[in-house]
Amino acid sequence: MARPVHPQAMTPSRAGRTRTAAPQAASGWYTQPRMLKYLLFDATGIVYLLVGFIALRVVWALGSGPEAWQELMRQLANPLYVAFHAVALVSVVFVAVRFFSLFPKAQPAHIGPVKPPPAPLIMAGLYAAWLGVTAVVTLILAGGLF
Amino acid sequence: MSEQKKTFVITRFDPDRDPAPRQQSYEVPVQPDWKVLDALNYIKDEIDPSLSHRWSCRMAVCGSCGMMVNGKPSLTCKDAVSDYGNRIEVAPLSNFPIVRDLIVELESFMEKLKSVKPWIVKAKERALEEGAHRQSPEQLEEFKQFSYCINCMLCYSACPVVANEPDFLGPAAIALGHRYNMDSRDEGQSERNEIFRGEGTVFSCSYANECSEVCPKHVDPAAAVNQAKFNAVIDWVTGFVTTRGGK
Amino acid sequence: MDVIRHDLIIVGGGGAGLRAAIAAAEKDPKASIALVSKVYPMRSHTVSAEGGAAAVARADDNLEMHAFDTVKGSDFLGDQDVIQYFVGEAPKELTLLEHWGCPWSRNEDGSVATRAFGGMSTKRTWYAADKVGFHMLHTLFQHSLRFPNIVRYDEYFVSKLIVDGGAVRGCAALDMREGVVRLFLGRAVILATGGGGKIFPFTTNGNIKTADGMALAYREGVALKDMEFVQYHPTGLPGTGILITEGTRGEGGYLKNSEGERFLVSRDYGVGTKAELGPRDMISRAIIQEIEAGRGIQGPYGEYVHLDLTHLGEEAIMKKLPMVRELTKIYVGVDPVHQPIPVRPVLHYMMGGVDVDIDGATTLPGLYAAGEVACVSLNGANRLGSNSLTECLVFGARAGLHALNFVRGTDGPNETVCLRQAEEEAGRIAGLRGKRGKEKMSQLRRELGIAMESGCGVYREQASMDETVHAVAALRGRYEGLGLEDKSTVFNTELTAALELGNLIAVAETIAVSAAHRKESRGAHARRDAKTRDDQNFLYHTLAHTGYSGPRLSKKPVTLGIWVPEERKY
């Protein structure tokens, strides 16, 4: 029927004058598609944490000589790592799309004398920047630049 | 008028008698144009007078009658019974301590509302002889939407951060503070932005957007909170560059 | 018993109550002011007002015009000194509200916009889209938070005024949360509790409008004035009674009958060229006459007429009347951009109330009243739309200041005597909680509504009014046999509903008796058996005092001024 939330949620600074029952949240709530989407959005943080560890590992291997590097490349070819990176890619795209769609309405009507551009322009700009940076980095990694 | 029977499962809690909230079922003959509130009033008038609930205007403007209907925050004078099936669960608003039956403790909300200084702050009070401020329709548009809040607190029930962080100011309070920040007549932005960066910090918001989804007056508090984040940061930065005070 | 001591006690936290509190708090930062209300202030029924608040604003307008419109609208029963004062203060009050942040709608040049309204000779109604009451109330409430000397007591039901030595010394109030009665001691009390629309079965009013303040004053011997004049708003939704603002007609809406004709234009209902912008009493009567002539449209809740906004266009409606569109879509499933709205006259406002003078003072020293609960009398026999929000501000402020003066000039109360009275009241309420009896509350409420609707409707006649007088007196007796079930102390809303029912019946009786004795038609009191206004015999205010076997009536003269009563034609 209901699940407890933080016991002090929305509790006033001075004690209530009669005995109150603890604040609850409706339990069916978290299975709704919209709520699930938001939870996944927040949960992708774990993915990035793990990507961070892998990146540290890569940097460490870079500084440890060519044999360590070759060993790392061999390990990263393992299908589990490939699957993880696929998940990471999906997470990044999912978060980016959700964030970009919510970003325009987070712009205040004006900051000092400056007005933000209209929402479609902001979103176009964000996608352009994202895809542009992705293209450049891909080119670098593929050896096309530098 | 055709009639239909629906089962209402209502949370009851009498601190004099009940150790914890319990549920009680009622069979109600509903009319096709009833709102959930009409059914609650029928239960109170005809079946069980001990059911306590808050309500007043029955036209979605006073904000008294917020409750959880089938697990979702709802303004019961606005939601039609016909939108639901034959079993309807009515519970008090989530995330609030429960006082009695469907009535929750509001004091924390009132404190948070007051803490954002929801009034026109002026360095020097405007004299009556100066007449009304000039404010263009465009300037009015900049904050008008955020002034629609009826204080129904559905957004507090929907917000996952309110559920977990007792100090968080919450959607409605931040939206109200932001409404004053964006009002061209106000000069208190620095003060409010400092409050927004303080204990009840706006940065606790993780943009779940649930508050805006449940808001019955289309205030879009999620937009207000996230705009407030922007303003709070810029205010903090300019606070280093310029001397504080005024706009 | 807990004793709560303040200088000034204000009962009711709506437009008038908050304005009085702000006025007093500003004037004297050392004065301690209690704002006691049975609901949180933002739930007060001021919040539901839609159309606008009137004050002279434009260059082509002047105070005399506003005053004359109000005097004529009141069918010459309004006190002209009160009206002159009111129109002068009105622009100042609305400007103050603007300073405090009220988001008035604007013209292109940044000045405050005004719209046309019923009975007004020019555009002088300041508006905030169609949510003026909501914006005004929230502005007042948020502004009041600035004053540390205004202490709020939310969800306290004031059930009795404490009177000692011939003056009001405070009140006894039920703390709804804990279920105990507390004594509020002060040197003056201002009633700002609003009207009593819930006396009638179909009303725009919310659940909390139960004439509490009127009953409080009435029981202490203060007269209720002009109670027979209750306003039926022409355009309420059938069934729910939800208000559809006069602003719809101000923006150009038409009223049409079942034949699609604008009956206010094609037939003579006394509104002349003003048509849909005539005064409310005349429009309500016109609609009832159309329905009685068979030109109403049949619906599940009775007959109604059409309010047609389809010619205004979506843009205009979304800009000026967005809440109306939402209301009609949610509550009657109609989109006013494409379809006409079903409307019929619905009880809306009470011109009558606690008898006060221009300072808001009653005949009981220390007791003041402002807003709909009071009858100053600004509105006489019929109120013009958009005058009452301004009334709350003007007379709320005035009552606040005068009550403050009274506080300074009077000494403290005799605590022992007051405590004894409060303890008696606590005993009475404890006895009421869960009391055994055979009468059912919802049944009594229903019968009260039926009786009042039949005797004190838009059109009245002697026989049905007399029947209503007897019916309500009988209900007063049956109320003593009321049976309650909820014995809980915490937030017992059955108990407060029972207290409210007692107030409804007491005040309903004054309405019925006053109406039965006024044998003329004036303003909102329209009789089939006395169709004309009789200034010779009936140019006075009716006073109703509490008596052993019902209200005792007496007369109070009308303060005339530069305008002499003439035929009321538009």
Chain A closest CA to B1's CA: distance in Å?
34
The DSSP 8-state label assigned to residue C354 in this structure reads E
Which among A14, A34, A105 is the nearest to B213, CB-wise? A34
How far, in Å, CA of C404 to CA of B157, rounded? 41
Neighbours of chain B (3+ CB pairs under 8 A): A, C
The domain of B219 spans 107-238
* Model confidence pLDDT, tens digit, residues C19-34: 999 999 999 999 999 9
Mutate which: C58, C138, C332, vs B, most B CBs within 10 A: C138
Same domain, B11 and B28: yes
Helical pair A119-141 and A79-102, crossing angle rounded to 10 deg = 160
**Where a domain ends, among B56, B81, B104?**
B104
Same domain, B91 and B113: no
Burial class (CB in 10 A: 0-12, 13-18, 19+), C439: middle
Chain A closest CA to C177's CA: distance in Å?
7
pTM for this prediction: 0.95
Same domain, B80 and B113: no
Q: Residue C419 — pLDDT band, cuts 50, 70, 90?
A: very high
Tell me, letter by letter, the H, E, C secondary structure of C434-450: CCCCCECHHHHHHHHHH
Q: Using a CB–CB cutoff of 8 Å, tell me whether A14 touches chain C.
A: no
Same domain, B63 and B147: no
Res B244 pLDDT > 60? no
Is there a catalytic annotation at residue C6?
Answer: no
* Beta-carbon contacts of residue C50 (< 8 Å; ≥ 6 apart): C130, C131, C132, C133, C243, C244, C245, C247, C323, C324
CA dihedral C28, C91, C195, B37 (to 10 degrees): -100
Number of domains in chain B: 2
Chain B closest CA to A49's CA: distance in Å?
18
Same domain, B38 and B134: no
- From residue B82, alpha-carbon distances to B6, B28, B58, C347 in Å are 10, 13, 17, 28
- What residues in C contact B52, CB-CB < 8 Å? 486, 491-494
How far, in Å, CA of C47 to CA of C24, rounded? 22
How far, in Å, CA of A61 to CA of C105, rounded? 66
Q: Which residue of A has its CA nearest to B71?
A: A26
Q: Which residue of C has its CA nearest to B186?
A: C101
Chain B closest CA to A132's CA: distance in Å?
25
- From residue C358, alpha-carbon distances to A109, C267, C331, C361, C374 in Å are 46, 40, 40, 7, 10
Res A145 pLDDT > 80? no
How far, in Å, CA of C282 to CA of C461, rounded? 17
Q: For C411-418, which contacts have Cβ atoms below 8 Å and span 24 or more sequence positions?
A: C411/C187, C412/C185, C412/C187, C413/C162, C413/C164, C413/C169, C413/C170, C413/C185, C413/C186, C413/C187, C414/C164, C414/C165, C414/C169, C415/C3, C415/C185, C417/C164, C418/C162, C418/C164, C418/C169, C418/C170, C418/C183, C418/C185
- CA contacts within 13 A on the Cβ side of C365: 12
Q: Using a CB–CB cutoff of 8 Å, tell me whether A104 touches chain B.
A: no
Same domain, B221 and B200: yes
pLDDT value of position A31 = 65
- From residue C340, alpha-carbon distances to B59, C280, C305, C311, C335 in Å are 20, 20, 9, 10, 8
How far, in Å, CA of B138 to CA of C106, rounded? 9
Interface list for A 5-44 with B (CB within 8 A): 5-6, 8-14, 16, 18-29, 34-35, 38, 42
How far, in Å, CA of C565 to CA of A116, rounded? 61
Res C12 pLDDT > 80? yes
* Beta-carbon contacts of residue A45 (< 8 Å; ≥ 6 apart): none
B247 part of a folded domain: no
Q: Residue C469 — pLDDT band, cuts 50, 70, 90?
A: very high
**Where a domain ends, among B44, B78, B104?**
B104
- What residues in C contact A17, CB-CB < 8 Å? 175, 177-178
Q: B50 and C486: CB-CB below 8 Å?
A: yes
- From residue C272, alpha-carbon distances to C248, C260, C263, C528 in Å are 19, 19, 12, 22
**In order of start, what are the domains of chain C with their CATH numbers?**
242-346 (3.90.700.10), 431-535 (1.20.58.100)
pLDDT value of position B95 = 96
Res C78 pLDDT > 70? yes
Q: How many CB atoms lie within 10 A of CB C282?
A: 26
The DSSP 8-state label assigned to residue C252 in this structure reads T
How far, in Å, CA of A22 to CA of B95, rounded? 9
B125 part of a folded domain: yes
pLDDT value of position A29 = 60
Mutate which: C152, C490, C491, vs A, most A CBs within 10 A: C490
For residue B22, what is the domain's CATH number?
A: 3.10.20.30
- Per the structure block, which two tokens stand in for C134? 């909501």
- What residues in B contact C203, CB-CB < 8 Å? none
- What average pLDDT does the segment C544-563 reach? 95
The DSSP 8-state label assigned to residue A111 in this structure reads B
- CA contacts within 13 A on the Cβ side of B11: 30
Q: How many CB atoms lie within 10 A of CB C547?
A: 10
Q: Which residue of A has its CA nearest to B211?
A: A35
Neighbours of chain A (3+ CB pairs under 8 A): B, C
pLDDT value of position B247 = 44
Q: How many CB atoms lie within 10 A of CB C369?
A: 33
Chain B closest CA to C104's CA: distance in Å?
9
Same domain, B122 and B209: yes
- Per the structure block, which two tokens stand in for B48? 């069980």
- What average pLDDT does the segment B238-244 reach? 74
pLDDT value of position C244 = 95
How far, in Å, CA of C228 to CA of A107, rounded? 55
Q: B231 and A1: CB-CB below 8 Å?
A: no
Mutate which: B72, B74, B84, B96, vs A, most A CBs within 10 A: B96
B113 part of a folded domain: yes
Q: Residue A28 — pLDDT band, cuts 50, 70, 90?
A: low
B246 part of a folded domain: no
Res B243 pLDDT > 70? no
**In order of start, what are the domains of chain A with their CATH numbers?**
29-102 (1.20.1300.10), 107-146 (no CATH)
Q: B142 and A110: CB-CB below 8 Å?
A: yes
Res C47 pLDDT > 50? yes
Which residues on adjacent β-strands are paired with residue C170?
A: C162, C185
Chain B closest CA to A55's CA: distance in Å?
26
Q: Residue B246 — pLDDT band, cuts 50, 70, 90?
A: very low
Q: Using a CB–CB cutoff of 8 Å, tell me whether A18 touches chain C.
A: yes
* Beta-carbon contacts of residue A32 (< 8 Å; ≥ 6 apart): none
Q: Using a CB–CB cutoff of 8 Å, tell me whether A101 touches chain B.
A: no
Same domain, B184 and B68: no
Q: Which amino acid is at B49?
A: P
Same domain, B113 and B228: yes
Task: Out of C19, C143, C233, C344, pick the active-site residue.
Answer: C233
Q: Residue B2 — pLDDT band, cuts 50, 70, 90?
A: low
* Beta-carbon contacts of residue B25 (< 8 Å; ≥ 6 apart): B7, B8, B9, B10
Burial class (CB in 10 A: 0-12, 13-18, 19+), C149: middle
pLDDT value of position B245 = 47
Same domain, B117 and B212: yes
Q: Which residue of A has its CA nearest to C491?
A: A18
Alpha helices in chain B (DSSP H): 36-42, 107-115, 137-144, 154-158, 160-164, 171-181, 189-196, 210-214, 221-241
Task: Out of C152, C169, C249, C402, pick the active-site residue.
Answer: C249
Sign of CA dihedral B7, B53, C484, C456: negative
How far, in Å, CA of B198 to CA of C111, rounded? 37
pLDDT value of position C357 = 97
The secondary structure element, H or E, covering residue C141 is helix C132-144
**Where a domain ends, among B104, B134, B156?**
B104
Q: C42 and B44: CB-CB below 8 Å?
A: no
Same domain, B53 and B118: no
Q: How many CB atoms lie within 10 A of CB A145?
A: 10
- CA contacts within 13 A on the Cβ side of C81: 8
* Model confidence pLDDT, tens digit, residues B140-161: 999 999 999 999 999 999 999 9
- What average pLDDT does the segment B40-59 reach? 97
For residue B113, what is the domain's CATH number?
A: 1.10.1060.10
Q: Using a CB–CB cutoff of 8 Å, tell me whether A67 touches chain B.
A: no
Same domain, B129 and B206: yes
B245 part of a folded domain: no
Which of C552, C560, C563 has the alpha carbon at shortest distance from C513?
A: C552
Alpha helices in A23-118 (DSSP H): 33-62, 66-76, 79-102
Is there a catalytic annotation at residue C249?
Answer: yes
For chains A and C, what is the number of CB pairs under 8 angstroms?
6
Tell me, letter by letter, the H, E, C secondary structure of C290-341: HHHCCCCEEECCEEEEEEECHHHCHHHHHHHCHHHHHHHHHHHCCCCCCCCE
Q: Using a CB–CB cutoff of 8 Å, tell me whether A12 touches chain C.
A: no
- Percent residues over pLDDT 90 in chain C: 98
- Per the structure block, which two tokens stand in for C556? 């109070």
